[in-house]
Amino acid sequence: MPLSAPVPRNHLHTRRYEFCGYEREDGLWDIEGRITDTKTYGFANEFRGEIRPGEPIHDMWVRLTLDDTLTVKDIEVTSDAGPYRICPDIVPNFQVMKGERIKPGWHLRLKELLGGVRGCTHIVEMMGSMGTVAYQTMYWRRKRSTSEKSPPPINTCHAFAADGEVVKRFWPDYYRGE
């Protein structure tokens, strides 16, 4: 169901995220993300001159290459557009993620390694969501091929509440209801 009809308003800004997950022929996985920010109006920018309506203020890409354990084997980051000349200078810092594993605490680890002046707010924010995209991309293949028994995602969201119907139905050993 869509949102209710809004009051009259003026559209000013659009942020778009796009994520894609790929299974590679070499047995690894690529998770790609892109963020773009655009305005509906033009404005002057000291470093880029006039930014026209619809022209990206931010246009940034990330490719995480992962193995079956969700360990980052490689990372590629680009910053095609930013509001400041120095924005792309931070791109090499993202190599610090090589060897890190997507697991509980992924968001915290991103902030520890790339938060504040060590990274780019927009890219770090996007990479947090890329962890979820990795799970969604790899889930069924990993479930069939791994002997590693992962605990169910109890209490990670409303649907997976320990005392809820979904846990009762799919993971009764973890159910904590009446």
Average confidence (pLDDT) per 10 residues, the chain, 178 residues: 95 98 97 98 96 98 96 97 94 97 94 96 96 91 58 82 90 88
Selection from 60, 70, 52, 53 nearest residue 17 by Cα: 60
Q: Quote the pLDDT of residue 143.
A: 57
pLDDT at 145: 56
How far is Cα 51 from Cα 38, in angstroms, rounded to an integer?
9
Q: Are 29 and 10 in contact (CB under 8 A)?
A: no
What the block records as the tokens of 107 is: 């968001």
What pLDDT does residue 139 have?
Answer: 82
